[in-house]
């Protein structure tokens, strides 16, 4: 797991905060499906409604793919938020696009992967957000099972959890992210979204999200 470019990471984080795709509220934490209390909520789908931010993300994901995954033959989006980002990338790169469902379609062909499946095709997976990496790596496994050669994955933002680093390492999947939690915190402080006391709480959450707020 690595950042594409540190200066890009700062810029992307600042823009996500500006459009409220990233929201910080440690005084009224969000509850994740896992039960964790979280001071942050990240919804990168909001970037699609802001053409300048959308283009900034698309252009840098294109560069990340070109510089790290030479020879890519197709783009795969992870349902649901990775679908529009992946389609934008595939169009910019002039490549075929498929997307991976979280579970097989319940009727018709009952597809897990939508689009033309070409065994042996070199594919890069697109995610909007990586937390633990579970759903992202499941999508990569589904592509592998369908016969694709998974070159790696790109994402807009990651929390940078140690468990995610280990999960991607164990799976042998390279992950390139445009921005992450560590790059976001200085931007939030510099632009007065948080103060020093809030920053300390946010840093503590990153150290141990499972017990924070309890």
Residue ranges per structural domain of the chain:
2-200
pLDDT of amino acid 52: 98
The dihedral region occupied by 124, where left means phi > 0, alpha psi between -120 and 50, and beta the remainder, is beta
Annotated binding site: 101, 105, 107, 127-135
Alpha-carbon Rg for the chain, nearest whole angstrom, is 17
Residues contacting 196, CB < 8 A, separation 6+: 189
Q: What is the pLDDT of residue 105?
A: 63
- Binding residues for 5-phospho-alpha-D-ribose 1-diphosphate, as ranges, are 101, 105, 107, 127-135
Segment 54-113, tens digit of pLDDT: 999 999 999 999 999 999 999 999 999 999 999 999 999 999 999 999 877 655 556 899
30 Cβ contact partners less than 8 Å away, ≥ 6 residues apart: 37, 38, 39, 40, 41
Which residues carry a binding-site annotation for orotate? 131
| Residues of the chain with confidence (pLDDT) below 50 | none
CATH code linked to domain 2-200: 3.40.50.2020
Q: What's the predicted TM-score (pTM) here? A: 0.94
> Which residues have a Cβ under 8 Å from the Cβ of 27 and sit 6 or more positions away?
none
What local confidence, expressed as pLDDT, does residue 109 receive?
55
């Amino acid at each position: 797991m690595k950042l594409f470019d540190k200066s890009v990471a700062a810029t992307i984080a600042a823009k996500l905060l500006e459009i409220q795709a990233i929201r910080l509220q440690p005084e009224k934490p969000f509850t994740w499906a896992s039960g964790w209390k979280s001071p942050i909520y990240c919804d990168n789908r909001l970037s699609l409604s802001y053409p300048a931010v959308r283009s900034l993300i698309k252009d840098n994901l294109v560069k990340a793919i070109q510089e790290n995954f030479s020879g890519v033959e197709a783009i795969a989006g992870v349902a649901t938020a990775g679908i529009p980002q992946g389609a934008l990338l595939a169009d910019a790169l002039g490549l075929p696009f498929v997307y991976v469902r979280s579970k097989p379609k319940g009727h018709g062909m009952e597809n897990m992967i939508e689009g033309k499946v070409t065994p042996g095709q070199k594919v890069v997976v697109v995610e909007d957000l990586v937390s633990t990496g579970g759903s992202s790596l499941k999508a990569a496994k589904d592509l592998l099972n369908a016969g694709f050669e998974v070159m790696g994955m790109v994402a807009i933002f990651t929390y940078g959890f140690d468990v995610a680093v280990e999960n991607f390492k164990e799976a042998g999947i390279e992950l390139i992210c445009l921005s992450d939690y560590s790059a976001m915190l200085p931007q939030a402080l510099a632009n007065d979204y948080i103060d020093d006391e809030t920053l300390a709480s946010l840093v503590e959450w990153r150290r141990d999200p499972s017990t924070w707020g309890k």
